[in-house]
Amino acid sequence: MVENNKITRLNRPSEPCYSTPGYHPVKCEWRCIAEKIIERCNCRPIYMEAIRNESICDYLEEQSCASTITDKFYQMRNDDPIYCDCPPLCTETIYTPSVTGSDLGRNFVKAMLKDFGPNQTFEEITSNQSLLTIYLSSLQCTYITTTESYGLVALMSDLGGALGLLLGATFLTVVEALELIYDFILFARVKRRMAKTS
């Protein structure tokens, strides 16, 4: 059973991703490990791609030096992800397998006995034959996409709204203060006139 997931990452300065053809994080890690092994052991394991013109490690060098460097690399990678800079792909499809198994059914084995002839026993067929079926767990594909949670347009809109509110409130406050001063002056004049007439 295979599950299909498609991931699209946002390329950000804080967490970059690569979309360069031919790049893969696993290939990048293998190259990084090879560089560390060549740097410390002065040779490379036979299963690693040549970087320069370095020699291939013999069995003792591979067991004593290269294996130790590889183990340290994965330990350092888990502790410090910047140990080897291999960012993820911007777009990738991940197939997650799920493996199950069971014995061959008796009816299936009986049908196979007819095909293989009477010289084969039930035990020989069940121990030497297997049936492999690969299928998708569902016809659905899970899409995971990272997007900006707070983009430039939203920031400008919020700043503009806050600035408009602040300027609008300030303008209204000035108008109301002028109206209040006008009301005090008008009240004082009316009071003087009333005092003169009485």
Task: DSSP for 118-186, please give it.
Answer: TTS-HHHHHHH-------BS-S--EEEE---SS-HHHHHHHHHHHHHHHHHHHHHHHHHHHHHHHHHHH
Pairwise pLDDT comparison (108 vs 161), residue with the higher score: 161
156 Cβ contact list (under 8 Å, min separation 6): none
124-151: pLDDT as tens digits? 767 777 777 777 777 777 888 887 777 7
pLDDT band at residue 65 using 50, 70 and 90 as cut-offs = confident
pLDDT value, residue 183: 93
- Residue 57 burial by CB count (10 A; 0-12/13-18/19+): exposed, middle or buried? buried
* pTM of the predicted protein model: 0.53
Mean pLDDT estimate for the chain: 82
Q: Which of 14-18, 64-68, 117-121 has the lowest average pLDDT?
A: 117-121
Of 142, 149, 159, give the one whose Cα is nearest residue 14: 149
Is the pLDDT score of 165 beyond 60? yes
